[in-house]
Amino acid sequence: AQSVTQPDIHITVSEGASLELRCNYSYGATPYLFWYVQSPGQGLQLLLKYFSGDTLVQGIKGFEAEFKRSQSSFNLRKPSVHWSDAAEYFCAVASVLWSSASKIIFGSGTRLSIRP
Amino acid sequence: GAVVSQHPSWVICKSGTSVKIECRSLDFQATTMFWYRQFPKQSLMLMATSNEGSKATYEQGVEKDKFLINHASLTLSTLTVTSAHPEDSSFYICSARESASGSLYYSGANVLTFGAGSRLTVL
């Protein structure tokens, strides 16, 4: 079964600094990978997704992520964070998409705080 | 874009009562909806997969008699927490996947659209 690990529970970065949130997955075949953001008390918003093709994926709000098969990783990056980026970030994986039986499994999340 | 509405956004109830949470896809048809549960400062745990017109598929460890799921139409799924107890207090989030035909099952910007969540507090 697929699984997702986000090793960092909480990260604090200064506003304007670069950001990298780590995500490692476990799955035998090519996974389908996602990053979601959740503001306090809110639902989830999709930042970006990787299905196939170019391993560097661009998302909304200036985020990008790189799929590295050799490292089983899909780290999220942003060159310069803004105070509004403070939120909880979830990495997620799905094993199969072309089926009504497919489902998305979430990592434990990384809480991002921004230092003024 | 696709929008999923959850109602109520916050509900407080007495122990022993039942609470119904609705999940609606507003501008698309959803063959499949998912229900997640999220404890404070924790991740989303998939509870069940709801398929229109059929019984829900529950994840291991989720009591199907406790958490009743109904997906009677292509735009509505409901989660009923029966005989709620304080330990059922949590944030419940639904997501919906747009129905699609053909081989390209996933297209467009969003794979799943999430509702804003419903916070249940059982006193």
pLDDT tens figures, B8-48: 999 999 999 999 999 999 988 888 889 999 988 788 898 99
Checking phi first, is residue B53 left (phi over 0); if not, alpha (psi -120 to 50) or beta? left
**Facing B43 at nearest CB: one of A51, A97, A109:** A109
Answer whether A43 sits within 8 Å of B114, measured CB to CB: yes
Contact status of A52 with chain B (Cβ, < 8 Å)? no
The encoded tokens of residue B76 equal 């509505």
Contact status of A22 with chain B (Cβ, < 8 Å)? no
pLDDT (mean) for A64-68: 96
- Give all strands (DSSP E) within B1-123, no chain letters: 4-7, 10-13, 19-25, 30-38, 44-51, 57-58, 67-73, 76-81, 90-98, 113-114, 118-122
The chain-wide mean pLDDT, for chain B, equals 86
pLDDT of residue B50: 87
pLDDT of residue B39: 85
The shortest C-alpha distance from A116 to chain B (Å) reads 23
